[in-house]
Every structure is written in structure tokens, then in C-alpha cells.
Amino acid sequence: MSEYIFKLPDLGEGTVESEIGEWFIKVGEHVAEEDVVGTMMTDKAAVELSSPVSGTVLKLAGEPGDVIAVGSPLVIIDTEGAAAEADDASTPEATPDPAPEAVTQTTRKAESATVEITENSEPEERSRVMTSPAIRRRAKEADIDLTLVPGSGPGGRILRKDFDNFLKARATGTSFVATATPSTNVKEIKIIGVRRVIAERMSAAKREIPHFAYVEEIDITELESLRKYLNTDRDTSQRLTLLPFLGLALIKALKEFPQCNVTHDKDRNLLLQHEAVHLGVATQTPDGLKVPVIKHAEIRSLDDLAAELRRVSLAARDNLAKKSELSGSTITITSLGRLGGIVSTPVINSPEVAIIGVNKAIERPVVFNGQVTVRLMMNLSSSFDHRFVDGFDAAAMIQRIKEMLEHPATIFLPA
């Protein structure tokens, strides 16, 4: 036997370990060179790994969710077995008949195994049925398989009334359904992949960052009127949402409040103040929350920003986003759309120091120009790292965004 040890390679960006995401192979299966054997999870994305050789899988490093260090054995492959199979296929050889004694011993083993399975299967099935000895005795006398009797007791236990009702139903030829009981089933879900990364990052963010929350109410009636006007002749797939307008207003406000466009390098005890705005967009995906990034949002027009927002969000949902598109943000916008509620407390996307949360827009009566009228109102719920952003600056920045969104023409004026 010639074993090839496929070790976990360096997946880049200083990765020292990685989590097994999914296996596409099993022990005993044949794998060809360049076949994808599985995926490994980094902090940013799932990376597919291909087999460097052909052969039979002898051993896998672990199950999905297990963490493997870079350089550790990932898959052990028998390459000699693969070569032997290839030789057998090209040059068939006659197989000698086994000796009579070997046949006899093999047959006996198979028979004993069959007997053991047959004998053990009935008690195993019977043990799954929960009921009293008295009901078991009655079932034996009546030649009734208890596995066919629905139980209404705790955990599906067969009660006397269940057995009596079953007997009555069988005698009359009617169907029998046990009285419904609360389910006691518990499904165990292993925390792996993106969900594990999200859990770890959220825990670290709440544990390490003192969040300062600030909520402001905004009248977006005029902004919504502008948005609808700009969407008049647009294709459905190209229509503008509120997010690109908010993005432009945020970018403009950050020029006045650069202390909010900062990332914290805790290893070097430094604040990195960025001139460029790399805008993170929190996106719900089937795998959990991801934050694709719009690089250099500060140089983009409204349409360009909207198009890039759609592109990176779709790539994240379809699991097609590159690692570079899921890292490097300097500030993040998050929105639950119509589920946005009245107020939320978004968790900061570390190492950033601020996150802007959008709540749902709703029409309601307000006082406007001295008159009670219906206006479209929306809240911004934002969080700031209070170690580096003072409450006054946080409030002032959100107020600046409020001014621009309530008077949307000012979003497009030069600074």
C-alpha cells in the first residue's frame, strides 16, 4: 500500500487553521486527480480543495465543523490501490477458486452474522415501543404489533386507552389516530461554517467594543418622491432603493467626520483613518449574514453605487463573492428592509468603529410647517465604538445625514 498524505495548504491572508465545511468524498471511495474533495472555511469564504493525486480514500481528517491546522493531514489516499485497479482493468487475470475450507468458513460466518441480525432486530424494534408490561401481554395474546399502535403518552408511550382504541378501530375497520401530544423531538444543529464565524465575530464585537447607540427620526417624504421619479423609466432590475442615497449622504458626511471612517488595529494599538470609503453592506444570505464591500464608494455616482450594491449583494447571496469582496470595509450599512422595525441596535463590524442601521419607512401623521399632515418617516439606528467616537460626534454625523436625506438635492451638491 502506498499512502499519499494530502495536507491542508495555506489558504492565504495569514490563515493558520481552517474549519472543515463540507466533504464531497467518503472513506473507501475512489477519487481522481483534480476532483474536488471538499470545502474549507476561512473567516471570509468557503474554499474548494482538489485532490493532487488519484486513489482510494483511506482516512478523512474529521467531520464538518472540526478545525484543522495548516500543514496537518487532511485526506489520506491509497495511490497504489488506484494503480492496481488500473492494471486489473487493462490486464484481466483469472481468479483462482477459493479452497473448500475457506468457502465453508466464509459461509458459516455469513450465516452466523445473518442469524445474529435476525435475532437482535426484533428485541431492538420492541425496545423502541414504550408501554406497560400489561399492554405488552395483551398485545401478545391478541397478536398485535405494538409498533403499529400510536401512543399519546409522553414520548409516544402507549397508554391503555390507546391500545383499547386501537382494538376497537381494528374490530370496526376504521382508522385510528392517537390523541395529539406535545412533541418532545429536539433537533441538534452543529454550529459550523459561516454561522460559526458569525457567532465568534459577534461575540468578540460585543465583548470588546463598548457600543454607543444613537437613533434619529428622518422625514424621507421628499427623498421617496425623488426616488420614484428617477425610477419612472427604469427597468425593474435597475430601480433605485433608498440605500444608494443613504450611501452618498454617508460618504459626504464622513468628510466632515473622518473619525468615523476608521478601523482599529488592536494588535498595534493604532487607529487607521481612511481617506477612501470602502462601504460594507450587511447582506442576509442562506449561509447567514455576510458583509460584501463596495470599494472606493467615494468616487462613485448614484447609479454606479446602486449597481455595485446590487452586484456585491447578489454575489454574496449566491456564494460567488471573492475573498477580497468580503473584507476591507471601513464603515457598514445594514438594513432589514420592510422588517426593519422601529428601532434596532446593530452590532459593529469589527475592526470598524461605526455602523448605520436602516429601519422601515412608514407613513404617519406629523406636524409639518405648523400643520398636521401625513409624512413618510424612517429611523436610523446606529452604533459607534465609544472608545474612539464621542457621543457628540456620533450624533452630529447622524444629524448631518438627516439634513441631506430630508433635503435630497443637497446630497448632490459639491462639498
Catalytic residues: 386, 390
Please give the helix or strand (H or E) that residue 48 lies within, else none.
strand 46-50
With cell 427623498, the residue in question is 223
- CB contact at 8 A, 262 and 273: yes
Angle (CA) 217 352 262, round 5°? 95
Measured on CA atoms in the order 239, 285, 330, 406, is the torsion positive or negative? positive
Residue 38 CA to residue 50 CA, distance in Å, equals 8
Q: Cell numbers of 40, please?
A: 474549507
291, three cell numbers: 458583509
HSE value, Cβ hemisphere, 13 Å, CA-based, for 230: 17
Angle at 356 between CA 210 and CA 360, to 5 degrees: 125
CA distance 82 to 98: 25
> Angle at which helices 242-256 and 221-230 pack, to 10 degrees?
120
Residue owning grid cell 403518552 = 153
Q: Report the C-alpha gap between 262 and 274 in whole angstroms.
A: 6
SS3 293: strand
**Cell representation of residue 376:** 413618510
CA distance 373 to 220: 14
Q: Got the DSSP string for 121-132?
A: HHHHHHHT----
**What stretches of 266-364 show up as alpha helix (H) in DSSP?**
302-317
CA neighbours closer than 13 Å in the CB half-sphere of residue 347: 15
